[in-house]
A and B are shown apart, each in its own frame.
Chain A
């Protein structure tokens, strides 16, 4: 049933068979999955999709697996929420939140990519899955991997806060705490991936893993009633998600599920780590690496692997980029929570605050339809809000103490 033709180097175009590899041997470019869209077009129709279960595998023909889905059968198909209260606040007409804060099972969009990666890992015959991560990815590999019955190795910097480790440890993977920073952990994992026959989801399984991000984009189009939005705002760390969302829109057009595609893609970053938005604003292709300094830790990649492709996608679509300060990020988180009842992680604060700026500058027009991609749950990064919240009212257990508060807040 598979529609995958093989792997292809994004740079020099050399083709490779479907194997757990990720780098072109000739020019060192990244490998990407290629599909036979003509055969997909024949079998994947709106009606077929609509009849399927509400999970990310309803688009399985456009995902890089050969057999049936095996992992994450309840992942994906998160709500697309019409955010009227937020729209009013920002002065626009049609605003939507694509809400991956409620992704199953670990409350971030990583549940999508890991579902695809682990299904592929099983097809390749791996019994052990692994990743280097400080957060969402580790949680998802630990949880999905537990249910799928894989042996799991999660590599983290030893200095990571205990609170962040708990959300992985509870699934009882082997957590390897490395005496080094995240870059060093990552590099060690590349060496380990070379020596052990393990599926490192973000290393040797990466071309397949990254394809899972497309489902976020497929769902946006389906949930808008088979229409692409005028604008989509995407948070960027490596730039992979933005690149894949744009790919997902183009694929739906390619196979005829939508007729028109005139979406502008916008990149959102934190000012403390904004190599992609800087390149876009300066009109250059060269990504200048930075040392990250931001509370949005899940976006803190100073030298983004897919930065070049993200810049191309933004430029190709006539989009733009914005970046925001830590204070604006906090305000973004609070604004989304206060208006729409959604508690996003810091990356969500970035995306929201950038959208606000893009609207204010006129880059996003007020009469257009805009989708904001919210990718992770705020319960995971609560410490970012310490000291930045409204306070409880402390009272004695009697009615007069309560009524003093009522008087103070004028809420009679």
Chain B
């Protein structure tokens, strides 16, 4: 068994179109490093200098890692990691759509209705 990682649409170009891939267990940042070994280039899209980028949200078993141990959150075999860009629905220039299954508390660029 390994860790399951869900890849958002704009990054699937780097995973040969795969929506779900596997990685070795470890901390979140180690999982990202392992992903980058398997799919070169994906690491810098998600993280910079050992930190998850501010507009990328990572969930371990549907829990936001900012409220766990951030980059050091442990990920075990069988856990599910989701990578979700912090944009609602995800209108990108290339027309890709980002599945946004965790809707309730996403940081939404679009959510600019007020002030």
Please give the residue numbers on chain A whose beta carbons come within 8 Å of chain B beta carbons, in ascending order. 11-12, 19, 21-30, 109, 131-137, 182-184, 186-191, 193-194, 200, 202-204, 206, 209-210, 235-238, 240-242, 286, 288-289, 298-305, 307-308, 347, 375
Contacts and interface: CB of A to CB of B under 8 A. Distances in A.
Interface string B59-74: 0000000110000000
Interface stretch (B18-26, B28-36, B97-105): B97-105
A108 to B, nearest CB: 10
Interface residues of B, number: 35
Contacts of A135: 113-114
17 contacts: A19-B93, A23-B90, A27-B56, A28-B53, A30-B55, A137-B114, A190-B88, A190-B108, A191-B91, A193-B110, A194-B90, A203-B110, A206-B109, A210-B112, A288-B66, A299-B114, A299-B115
B88 to A, nearest CB: 5
Nearest to B93: A21
B104 to A, nearest CB: 6
Given A27-B53, A240-B115, A301-B114, A190 B91 contact: yes
Contacts, number: 152
Given A28-B53, A29-B53, A286-B66, A22 B109 contact: yes
B45 A132 contact: no
A202 B85 contact: no
Interface of B: 10, 45, 48, 53-56, 66-67, 85-95, 97, 100, 103-115
A258 B13 CA distance: 49
Contact of B115 (A30, A133, A193, A241): A241
A11 B110 contact: no
A132 B113 contact: yes
A183 B97 contact: no
A305 B56 contact: no
Nearest to A296: B114
Given A190-B88, A238-B111, A299-B114, 8 more contacts: A24-B55, A131-B113, A135-B114, A186-B111, A194-B92, A203-B110, A241-B115, A347-B114
Contact of B110 (A27, A202, A235, A240): A202
B112 A206 contact: yes
Contacts of A28: 10, 53, 55-56, 85-87
A26 B106 CA distance: 19
Contact of B100 (A26, A187, A242): A187
Contact of B67 (A288, A302, A375): A288
User: Which of B54, B67, B106 has most chain A Cβ within 10 Å?
Assistant: B54
Given A191-B89, A305-B109, A237 B54 contact: no
Which 9 residue pairs are nearest across A and B when measured between Cβ atoms? A190-B89, A237-B114, A28-B85, A237-B115, A194-B91, A202-B112, A28-B55, A289-B105, A241-B115
B109 A30 contact: yes
Contacts of A182: 113
A153 B114 CA distance: 18
A21 B109 CA distance: 11
A24 B66 CA distance: 22
Contacts of A191: 89, 91, 97
User: Which of A28, A200, A203, A300 has most chain B Cβ within 10 Å?
Assistant: A28
A238 to B, nearest CB: 5
A300 B113 CA distance: 10
A189 B89 contact: yes
Contacts of A109: 115
Given A26-B45, A235-B115, A238-B112, A194 B95 contact: yes
Contacts of B108: 183, 186-187, 190, 303, 305
